[in-house]
Amino acid sequence: METNKQPILSIIVPVYNVEKYLPKCIESILNQTFNDFEVILVDDGSTDKSGELCDDYQELDSRLQVIHQKNVGLGGARNVGISLSRGRYIGFVDSDDTIHPQMYTILLNEVEQSQSEIGICRYQCYAEGRPPKMLNISTYETREMQTEEALRQLLKGQLYRHSVCNKVFKRELVKTVLFPVGKIYEDNFFTYRAIAQAHKVKYVHLTLYYYLQREGSIVHRSFSEKNLEILNAGEDIIQFINKQYPNLQMDAECAYALRFFDIMNTLLVEENTDQVILQNLKQRIRKQKSSLKENTMLTKKQQILIQIFSYSPKVYMYIIKHLA
């Protein structure tokens, strides 16, 4: 590919202390059947050999561009990649994950043919040491959605969720919707706003992205107050939906309630009774309890449990442990 020619796709890969996993990630990108792309590797202050590996791969393939910077976190690293990108479409790959050889061929074909601004596939989580099985692709189902339906499916979380890595975005969407810096769960603050700016979204019912769940990652650490940022995102979504898409109000509130139940399940499994976390949750639920009480997407049992928690987290935890 000529370096002065605008590529069709920019693939942004934030890199931080992943020397063990980075080669497989980069090679899965370079082995794509679609090849009109640039890869922007953002070395976000790695203290291992990840930065050197990035430089080595840049020497091997002119489509790679490497940026070395002080650590700013995943959201900030992605924003740097976006600012340097030149592609008509933008994709994101995390540096410990891998992708199917046909992922971008399929997603870009589908968005181009349907004139959609976002393409989405399925992803598979796998544990270290248990690599996923790659699909032999012949036929597959797709679904075309207008903005409101695409947001509804995002909130339901059955076809797809907030992760940006199993998606491609039209450049114009991403340039105006940046990632928050210094937060975890960056995608939960980003994806709904990107979809809201799209007129059409194309979903492909194929598993093309492979997400490695490794020890030491955020999802495997003990729950802390920082993890409650996911509810900050949920509150932002409720506020946005109520203003812009009132038909989806119950969907947004239901998604928030289900995230609350996920958090409580995690705390119960960890036997975590941190009073700061529980009081924080109590205050949040009290603010939402009136609307959640009337939300017909929640079961009666869920509605009652939310009311109980808003009065006493201790009683809630006793009921779940001993009676539910």
Q: List the domains of the chain with CATH numbers.
A: 9-218 (3.90.550.10), 222-322 (no CATH)
Check residue 218 and give its pLDDT: 53
Check residue 112 and give its pLDDT: 98
| Burial (0-12, 13-18, 19+ Cβ within 10 Å), 5 | exposed
* 77 CB-side CA count, 13 A: 28
Per-residue pLDDT 10s for the chain (324 aa) are: 455 789 999 999 999 999 999 999 999 999 999 999 999 999 999 999 999 999 999 999 999 999 999 999 999 999 999 999 999 999 999 999 999 999 999 999 999 999 999 999 999 999 998 989 888 898 999 999 999 999 999 999 999 999 999 999 999 999 889 999 999 999 999 999 999 999 999 999 999 999 999 875 555 568 999 999 999 999 999 999 999 999 999 999 999 999 999 999 999 999 988 999 999 999 999 999 999 999 999 999 999 999 999 999 999 999 998 876
Range 106-111 contact pairs with CB under 8 angstroms and sequence separation of 24 or more = 106/137, 106/140, 106/204, 106/206, 106/208, 107/167, 107/168, 107/202, 107/204, 107/208, 108/8, 108/9, 108/34, 108/168, 110/142, 110/202, 110/204, 111/168, 111/170, 111/202
> Sign of the C-alpha dihedral, residues 172, 177, 181, 185?
negative
> pTM for the complete prediction?
0.95
Check residue 183 and give its pLDDT: 94
Check residue 4 and give its pLDDT: 73
